[in-house]
A and B are shown apart, each in its own frame.
Chain A
Amino acid sequence: SQKIEQNSEALNIQEGKTATLTCNYTNYSPAYLQWYRQDPGRGPVFLLLIRENEKEKRKERLKVTFDTTLKQSLFHITASQPADSATYLCALQRDNYGQNFVFGPGTRLSVLP
């Protein structure tokens, strides 16, 4: 069956450290994968998109990797700040013909001062 898993429900790290969140998927063949941030009581906000032929994408302190062999994406936040505390969702295209993205359950990141 198809499944998307994100490493853990919650992750606590110290301010200034690098946060690494994982997204693993089974029985999908996405051409694209996206990462979103969701704050409590708010809708998700788009952060980054990475295509299957891209190994890595960066935006300011954010970095995303996409390994289609491992069926995994890693999301890194360097020099983390308390303001980075939120839930981070990965979303992947269902398949090359799929018109929509399906979301993972998210990882709640807490950056401690």
Chain B
Amino acid sequence: DAMVIQNPRYQVTQFGKPVTLSCSQTLNHNVMYWYQQKSSQAPKLLFHYYDKDFNNEADTPDNFQSRRPNTSFCFLDIRSPGLGDAAMYLCATSRDLVGQTRNQPQHFGDGTRLSIL
């Protein structure tokens, strides 16, 4: 089945130690998103790629970076994780950007839960 896969499901890292989360998709969608979701809160968009074009949200900390080496894969790098970065990180895709096609559901992976020691 076509889907969005995130690895690992659970990640533990130490304070200040760089960590990379990965996402792959078999939907061949143009857009890939990274969200941060803390307990009982809304998913918060960090950034998105439209094809190779990277778009950072204005309030995303510099500590968060992303790479998209090809259509199928996207990575979230946290350069120096702090305790406040412990959260669920969700990857999502959509076929196109919102303004381009009227019905743009996002397809989410099941997330990576990041813990900081």
Out of A41, A42, A46, A100, which one reaches B107, CB within 8 Å? Answer: A46
Q: Do B90 and A101 touch (CB < 8 A)? A: no
Q: B42 contacts the other chain (Cβ, under 8 Å)?
A: yes
Cβ contact of A49, chosen from B97, B103, B107, B111, cutoff 8 A: B103
Tell yes or no: A98 within 8 A of B by CB.
yes
Contact residues on A (Cβ < 8 Å of other chain), bracket: 20 to 34
Known pairs A100-B33, A106-B42; A43 contacts B110 (CB<8 A): yes
Whether A64 sits at the interface, judged by CB under 8 Å, is no
User: CB distance A46 to B105 under 8 Å?
Assistant: yes
B92 within 8 A of A: yes
CB distance from A20 to the nearest CB of B (A): 20
Q: Does B98 contact A (CB under 8 A)?
A: yes
Q: Which residues of A contact B92 (CB under 8 A)?
A: 43
B: which residues have CB within 8 A of A? Answer: 4, 33, 40-45, 48, 50, 55, 90, 92, 97-99, 102-111, 113
Residues of A within 8 A of B (CB): 4, 9, 32, 34, 41-46, 49, 51, 89, 91, 93, 96-106
12 A-B interface contacts by CB (under 8 A)? A43-B108, A43-B109, A43-B110, A44-B90, A44-B106, A45-B108, A91-B106, A93-B98, A99-B48, A99-B97, A102-B45, A106-B42
